[in-house]
Amino acid sequence: MKKWILGAALLAVALPMNAQELPQPSPTSTVDQRIGLTDFSITYSRPATRGRTIFGDLVPYNEVWRTGANGCVLFSASTDFTMNGNEVKAGEYALFTIPGEQDWTIILSTQTNLWGNSGYSEDSDVLRFNVRAGKGDFDDNFTMRFHSLSTEGGYLLLEWADTEVSINLGVDSEGESGKNVAKALSDAKRAYRNAANYYSGQGDHEKAPQNHRNCLTARSEYWYTNWVKAKILYAAGDTKSCP
């Protein structure tokens, strides 16, 4: 009986200990940024220097680095974009790097479920390119941020200790705007056409053609739009104007 009571007491103590949440040495951060009409998001962990030599020591040169701590960096974009002039499809990727004394290799990979770089395979790369590393102000915590933004692009900056790496990002704001305009016109066309159909069915032969004229302005060449026009004119008794 005494052994059973002791075991139950130890279990009662152990369960809360296992469930407690403690501060992370390398806290997770998420950075969201809209550039033009493209939404970028980065989720990564932020280790601190804690008096250590970082690049060439804690982070070896010429080896694949998780780029931070804990799980791999998740990088996503809502539309197609370019990274240092290289075309990339919209989606979510893992971002790895290979730090060098002067140049870094930047990698986008489809292996988004890795813990760090464990299990990393070059076969899953969708993009690799080199950029020059520079010197900057001292950053105690590893930092990833966007800067120098415009409607057509910006830069992703990686900073830790006195090292910084800048990656150019480009977006097609004009192309995305064109898509949005086309969609808006298409939606307007349907709305006006539906309204015209409704008013014609209600016998309102004044509002029906008014709405249909707006529909024709949005898209006049579509066969169904012209069929609705003929239907409205016929219902109004105007057979001479039917197309």
Same-domain check for residues 186 and 162: no
- Three-state DSSP string of 136-183: EEEEEEEEEEEEEEECCEEEEEEEEEEEEEEEEEEECHHHHHHHHHHH
% the chain with pLDDT above 90: 59
- What integer pLDDT is reported at residue 12 of this predicted model? 52
- What integer pLDDT is reported at residue 3 of this predicted model? 53
Same-domain check for residues 136 and 187: no
Residue 215 lies in a domain: yes
Sorted by sequence, the CB contacts under 8 Å of residue 195 that are 6+ apart come out as: 207, 211
* Range ranked top by mean pLDDT from 14-18, 21-25, 85-89, 169-173: 85-89
Residue 240 lies in a domain: no
Residue 69 lies in a domain: yes
Residue 181 lies in a domain: yes
Same-domain check for residues 149 and 75: yes
- The parent domain of residue 108 ranges over 24-171
pLDDT digit string (tens) for 161-200? 999 999 999 998 676 656 655 665 555 566 665 665 566 6
- What integer pLDDT is reported at residue 84 of this predicted model? 96
Whether 226 shows a pLDDT value over 70: the answer reads no
- What integer pLDDT is reported at residue 34 of this predicted model? 96
Query: Measuring CA to CA, how many Å separate 183 from each of 36, 57, 187, 188?
Result: 18, 53, 6, 8
The residue from 171, 189, 209 where one domain ends is 171
How far apart (Å, rounded) are the C-alpha atoms in residues 55 and 93?
24
pLDDT digit string (tens) for 132-142? 999 999 999 99
Same-domain check for residues 128 and 194: no
For 63-78, what is the mean pLDDT?
A: 97
Same-domain check for residues 117 and 34: yes
Strand partners of residue 177 = none
CA Rg value for the chain: 30
Same-domain check for residues 191 and 81: no
Residue 28 lies in a domain: yes
Same-domain check for residues 108 and 77: yes
- What integer pLDDT is reported at residue 10 of this predicted model? 46
- What integer pLDDT is reported at residue 96 of this predicted model? 98
- What integer pLDDT is reported at residue 55 of this predicted model? 97
Whether 68 shows a pLDDT value over 80: the answer reads yes
Same-domain check for residues 140 and 222: no
- What integer pLDDT is reported at residue 45 of this predicted model? 97
- What integer pLDDT is reported at residue 21 of this predicted model? 75
Residue 157 lies in a domain: yes
Whether 206 shows a pLDDT value over 90: the answer reads no
**What burial class does residue 50 get, using C-beta atoms within 10 Å of its C-beta: 0-12 exposed, 13-18 middle, 19+ buried?**
exposed
Residue 9 lies in a domain: no
Give the residue carrying structure tokens 């932020």. 46
Q: Which amino acid is at 75?
A: F
Same-domain check for residues 93 and 61: yes
Whether 83 shows a pLDDT value over 80: the answer reads yes
Task: Indicate the DSSP class of residue 67.
Answer: S
Task: Indicate the DSSP class of residue 9.
Answer: H
Is the full-model pTM beyond 0.85?
no
Per-residue burial over 62-83, b if 16 or more Cβ lie within 10 Å, else e, is: eebbbbbbbbbbbbebebbbeb
Sorted by sequence, the CB contacts under 8 Å of residue 223 that are 6+ apart come out as: none
| Domains identified in the chain, total number | 2
Q: Please check whether residue 143 is in contact with residue 136, taking contact to mean a CB–CB distance below 8 angstroms.
A: no
23-27, 85-89, 224-228: segment of lowest average pLDDT: 224-228
- What integer pLDDT is reported at residue 33 of this predicted model? 98
Residue 166 lies in a domain: yes
The residue from 171, 188, 221 where one domain ends is 171
